Amino acid sequence: MKRLILSTCASVLALSLVAGPVLLPAGPALAETAAPALADDRGIPTLAPVVERVSDAVVNISVVSERPAQMSPLYRDPFFAPFLPPMSPEGPVERQMSAGSGVIVDAKRGHVLTNNHVIQDATEIRVSLRDGRSVKAELVGTDPATDIAVLKIPAEGLTAVETGNSDALMVGDYVVAIGNPFGLGQTVTLGIVSALGRSGINPQGYEDFIQTDASINPGNSGGALITLDGKLVGINSAIIAPNGGGNVGIGFAVPVNMALSVMEQLVEHGTVARGRLGVAIQDLTPDLAQAMGIEAAGGAVVGSVDPGSAAERAGLRAGDAILAIDGHKLRGSADLRGRVGMRRPGDTVKLDIWREGKRQGIDVTLDKLDAAATSAAPAELAGLTLQPLAPGMPGYGTVEGLSVAAVAPRSPAAQAGLQPGDVILAVNRRPVTRPEDLAAALESASGNAVGLLVWRDGREVFVVLPR
């Protein structure tokens, strides 16, 4: 069986011990722009005018980084150690060069968007422009949670790309990916938007990925996803690849609206401050919507409300279904979490909620998200995004346990068949109601697997989870 792995699309070449690429963390397009343009002089379908207009804004990024190298076993041998060169107090260091891509989004200030994993641990960053110039780049700031980083280069003779509205994208829109795959240099590929709002790829981050079949490979990370009207709608970030290979038609891009929101804070403050609602949430599934009598599809159900939180002050209650935020219809709990996380502390958001058989609006002024105020936030464990199930939740009766909000692809939990909407009742017959209970039960269990008692679709099933 072939093994699928999620890879970020940065191409890496080690200068010392590692050779070859290593795959470690890779306006709206509307119907009238859905067909390639027709060249007047040659009479053949072509995207060349669009590509020519945006190509100067897409750059190649080369990064030199240092990381601890594996120490030779000879250093541990008292016979050979005296004959070997002295080792630094920090241990042996390996210099590594990696290649990625970036997009100039502000020519006047020299700001370049790329991925955090492209420049992570960099000691030197250089940006190569299409006209042949190579300039040293300054790191403005990074946000690992969205995998976005901002660089600054000398603002001389630069061309910026026009940004579009990623919220207006539709599945089936044509898109063009431009980047630096495998360090080959600027490369253009064509595809469509395959899906929107992809999440569960990195449950610890803020996800709202655009999925595309435009060919993306290692080195494309940080490159541009462009609509056929020449507007930037995404920053290419990751691919799914069999056995660490190249493109198989499943790539992911960070929506430009999210990237620009992060960039604005990084440029202004050097870091990202996120808003906090203060609720534990889970997806509003069709079955749950029917059980709760909600006349809507998609959204998030409030499982519990943190005492003293923004949600409590605004009057949110356990059992409320949040259907939209600031007029944006929610696809699920991950969508709500991401959109709240992109707002700043002190911002006021308007939530459309369903309560007691009717729809109503409620305004919430967000708190600041910090480590001390995340008790109701989902916990990530064993590839699962978990949260306590509120007692008496409609559709669940008297069931008590841990609700599965998301399952990371290709994780042990996914291999075991766990699904969003499952409720973990017990581990090896030991009841669990909090993430800490599950962590303790997994730690104390012996053997290569544990047995989970799971509530699914109104009945209890037994699931074996590999350790």
Residues labelled catalytic: 117, 147, 221
Residues in Cβ contact with 204 at an 8 Å cutoff, skipping those fewer than 6 apart: 145, 380
Give the DSSP H or E segment for 233: strand 231-242
Is beta strand 148-152 parallel, antiparallel or unpaired with respect to 275-276?
A: unpaired
Q: How many CA atoms does the CB half-sphere of 237 hold within 13 Å?
A: 27
- Beta-carbon contacts of 71 under 8 Å, excluding residues fewer than 6 positions away, are 87, 91, 92
Token pair in block for residue 286: 């069709």
Tell me the C-alpha distance between 64 and 231, whole Å: 31
CB atoms within 10 A of CB 132: 6
- Longest distance between any two alpha carbons in the chain, whole Å: 80
Alpha carbon distance 275, 88 (integer Å): 43
Give the alpha-carbon dihedral of 399, 299, 285, 312, to 10 degrees: 10
For residues 207 and 199, the answer to whether their CB atoms sit within 8 Å is yes
